[in-house]
Structure 1
Amino acid sequence: MMRLTEEEVQSLLQEMEGWKLVEERWIAKKYRFQDYLQGIEFVRQIAAISEEANHHPFISIDYKLITVKISSWRAKGLTKLDFELAKKYDEVYDKMK
């Protein structure tokens, strides 16, 4: 996949709630849950989605707060796939609320 331009990244970010650009190379979002095991279930579900796409984010578990950070190593930046997966992660979160 081709790396997105800065303008494309900014445009896509405007469509996504809570996602932030980090170090011009990553997008990241924090998800908060009512309890620890709900957050773990979220991680399990997004891990399955990521594995299916063969594109894996960094995931940090801090009790009831899950932080997801994603980028495309081969493209050395952000691609459409990063944003597509971010939307799928948001869909999982919305279903779990």
Structure 2
Amino acid sequence: MADLLDDTAITSALDGLPGWERDGDSFVRTAELPSFPAAIAVVNRVAEIAEERDHHPDIDIRWRTLRFRLSTHSAGGLTEKDVGLAGAISEQLDAAQG
């Protein structure tokens, strides 16, 4: 099982993850894409990454607005798995938003 991050580590991780916020025991990011197909394309790429890492975000899709929520449920909070996946999601969003 992954080790939980303490508050200092979480704050430090968020410093390197622009657009992400802490919401209790989760990292959350909302992003608006240029179109619905662009949003779905990001979701599909994130799904592939999540499968490779065996770590899956909660994703809310509202037309062209995506909201990602990350937490390591098996550990009961935030771990390095969440930090890594947040970074990978950010890369996909940055590429899609140009």
TM range (shorter): over 0.9
Structure 1 counterpart of 2:10: 9
Tell me the TM-score normalized by structure 1: 0.95
User: Which residues of 2 match residues 20-59 of structure 1 at below 5 A?
Assistant: 20-23=21-24, 25-59=25-59
Aligned to 1:94: 94
Q: Shift in Å at residue 92 of structure 1?
A: 1.1
Matched length: 96
Unaligned runs of 5+ in 2: none
Structure 1 residue 62 displacement after superposition? 0.6
Residue type of the partner of 2:12?
S
State the SS of the aligned residue for 1:30.
strand
In the alignment, structure 1 segments of 5+ residues that lack a partner are: none
SS of residue in 1 equivalent to 2:19: coil
Cross-structure match for 1:78: 78
- Helix, strand or coil: the match of 2:72? coil
Aligned residue for 1:3, secondary structure, equals coil
**What is the identity percentage for the equivalent residue pairs of Structure 1 and Structure 2?**
27
Query: Once the 2 structures are TM-superposed, how far is the Cα of residue 82 of structure 1 from its aligned partner?
Result: 0.3
1:37-84 alpha-carbon deviations (Å, 9 max, x no partner): 100000000011001111000000011100000000111000011010
Moved segments of 4+, more than 6 Å? none
Query: What is the aligned-residue RMSD (CA, Å)?
Result: 0.7
